[in-house]
Chain A
Amino acid sequence: MSKTQKSTLMAIFRYVILIGLGLLVVVPILWMVSTAFKGEAQTYSPTPVWIPDPVSMDSFRKFFGIYNFGRMTVNSFVTCLGSMIICVAFSCLAAYGVTRFKFKGKKQFMNFLLMTQMFPSVMLVVPFYAVLTKVRLTNNLLGLIIVYAATNVAFSTWMMTSYFRTIPVDLDEAARIDGATNFQIFWKVVLPLTIPGIAAVAIYVLLNGWNEYMYSSVLINKDAYKTLTVGIVALNSQNQVHWNDMMAASSVSCLPLIILFLFGQKYFIAGMTGGAVKN
């Protein structure tokens, strides 16, 4: 077999695998979208219907109507943004401290950041529940913001540290000679250079917050403060499951992340890979 034949064969092989596995990813997603546009009766068709006929928008109307998911979407947004701001601020400061200064306990601090990933979240939920009840922050978005920030701040700091490490310290030195204080150097010199790192951390925290279920389901039980994931899962426990409504709500809840992904693909990848690759 000649070299060109071999590489043609390889190319065919590649496409066969990619398309085969790609279908495994795409078919479930298309089925979700297809179900979302069906009327109730069509979801119970004995033979699968891929293209709804007629196309029904009822499930999407119900999303904002009787299910009140509009409110829950806002709650999800608020908690995500709140925890993101806290995480970005704290992790930037900490990353600057860790990469620019020598201090006792730094090594332990860095080790601890990774160790937090070993804590079972189901283990933290009991103490969170007890503590937040004591300070009257259950059924409160602020309580949820604090919990999300707490559970994400360690890994955010870890990611941010590896980004700060790539910024040369010579820049700090130059500014220091000009008489800048530590905070001025941080704020005016280093921080503007770490925007991609900030974007990655922001996306990481937003994604985790948007997808979080356990804490939210335990800490919030009033409808007015529920987040979207909890609302959608609740559809599954009703006596009769309306699959079209559930798939419509699911589709809508995925949209913000997909839009975010299309705009910030590069940062998304950086957010996913965290600090692992650069070290």
Chain B
Amino acid sequence: MSTDAVSIGTGRKKNHDNAGYAFVSPAALAMILLIIYPMAYGFYISFFNTNLVNKWNFVGFKYYLQAFTEPDFYQSLIRTFIFMFFVVAGHFFLGFLLSNLLNKKFFGRTFFRVIFTLPWLFPETVIALLFTWIMNPMYGILNAILKSLGLISSNIGWLGSGTRAFPAVIFVCIWKGYPLVMTMLLSGMQSIPADLYEAAELDGATKWKQFLHVTIPGLRPVLNTTLILDSVWWFKQYTLVYTMTGGGPGKTTDLISLSIYGTAFNDFRFGKAAAWGIIVFIICYLISKIYGVVLKDE
């Protein structure tokens, strides 16, 4: 995004600087005290074997180096990448499909827009509990529906199974998160001037060609931001998955945020958890940079 300022007057440069600082300072100070300082503190304790109370043993880069040889960490990381890939792909598939369908005038459009926005309004905790109930092996509605459709013959424990819990969790995360992508894309589409489509139509472009050559380029800035934020937010996902499975069964849904949380608050290995957190931050930062490069070059 551009950060160009509108320059007012030229002779009072110093004064100008100060006024800018004065307005920005409350937000900047809040962030320095409450974001940068805690991050720096986290960085600091990542060099210690510490329980934050009475044990402070300096270990240097040990936890960072260890992370790459410790299965707990790198397996959790790989799992999180797979999770992120499917969740974001699901969001964008539904997001594109629905925003395309809803971007035309038809009877019931507002109704459907409201319906499809609903999952966004529900707290992650509520959605997690609701789907835990829906997927309940004994009394859950999911098994009942699938049985009545003849798709399964006996009850299935969705979240209790090592092979089904992961896809089940991905499904719920797609369910929760697609409205954001849908709405972003929809707003982006509505900002594309209609005469571009008219011109394309005159040139004989099919609907699919129009989508590829008018819609997608027009959406580029929105796509860029949405893709970065959606990926990073879901890479860090904690609440929904924690509430549904707690990372289990076994470690099959143990995402990196859950691993870090457990390392800190169950094992009280705060230094190790902090080091892992820093690595996750670096990964998220790299994800955003890689997207930036890839999307710009096209």
Q: Which residues of A contact B (CB under 8 A)?
A: 11, 14, 17-18, 21-22, 24-29, 31-32, 35, 43-48, 86, 89-91, 93-94, 96-104, 106-107, 109-110, 112, 114-128, 130-131, 146-147, 149-151, 153-154, 157, 162, 169, 172-173, 176, 182, 186, 207, 210-211, 213-214, 218, 229, 232-233, 235-236, 243, 246-247, 250, 253-254, 257-258, 261, 265, 268-269, 272-277, 279
Contacts and interface: CB of A to CB of B under 8 A. Distances in A.
A276 B221 contact: yes
B133 A243 contact: yes
Contact of B17 (A103, A107, A246, A265): A103
Contacts of A172: 8
A100 B125 contact: no
Interface string B241-254: 00100000000000
Contacts of B27: 90-91, 93-94, 153-154, 157
B8 A173 contact: yes
B18 to A, nearest CB: 8
B117 interface: yes
A128 to B, nearest CB: 6
B123 A210 contact: yes
A279 B35 contact: no
B116 A25 contact: yes
B270 A119 contact: no
A102 B16 contact: yes
Nearest to A243: B133
A103 B101 contact: no
A99 to B, nearest CB: 7
21 contacts: A14-B106, A17-B101, A21-B94, A25-B116, A90-B27, A102-B7, A102-B16, A103-B21, A117-B284, A122-B238, A122-B264, A123-B274, A126-B264, A150-B35, A233-B243, A250-B130, A253-B123, A257-B123, A272-B120, A276-B221, A276-B222
Given A103-B16, A246-B133, 5 more contacts: A44-B139, A46-B139, A100-B5, A121-B238, A279-B225
Nearest to A172: B8
B261 interface: yes
Contact of B38 (A17, A35, A127): A127
B27 to A, nearest CB: 4
Interface of B: 1-3, 5-8, 13, 16-24, 26-28, 30-31, 33-35, 37-39, 41-42, 45, 52, 94, 97-98, 101, 104, 106, 108, 112, 114-126, 129-134, 136, 138-139, 141, 144-145, 175, 179-180, 183-184, 187-188, 191, 221-222, 225-226, 229, 232-233, 236, 238-239, 243, 256-257, 260-261, 264-265, 270, 273-274, 277-278, 280-281, 284-285, 288
B187 A277 contact: yes
Nearest to A173: B8
B184 A22 contact: no
Q: Rank and list the top 5 A-B pairs by shortest CB-CB distance, nearest first.
A: A97-B23, A123-B277, A101-B20, A150-B34, A127-B38
B19 A182 contact: yes
Contact of B126 (A99, A153, A232, A243): A232
A207 B130 CA distance: 19
A94 B239 contact: no
Contacts of B280: 120, 123
Contact of A31 (B108, B112, B141): B141
A18 B101 contact: yes
A106 B260 contact: no
Contacts of A24: 175
A86 B34 CA distance: 13
A67 B160 CA distance: 28
A24 B145 CA distance: 12
Given A91-B27, A119-B35, A106 B20 contact: yes
Contact of B101 (A14, A91, A118, A210): A14
Given A120-B280, A172-B8, A236-B129, A229 B123 contact: yes
Given A102-B16, A102-B17, A246-B129, A25 B118 contact: yes
A254 B120 contact: no
A114 B284 CA distance: 11
A272 B233 CA distance: 14
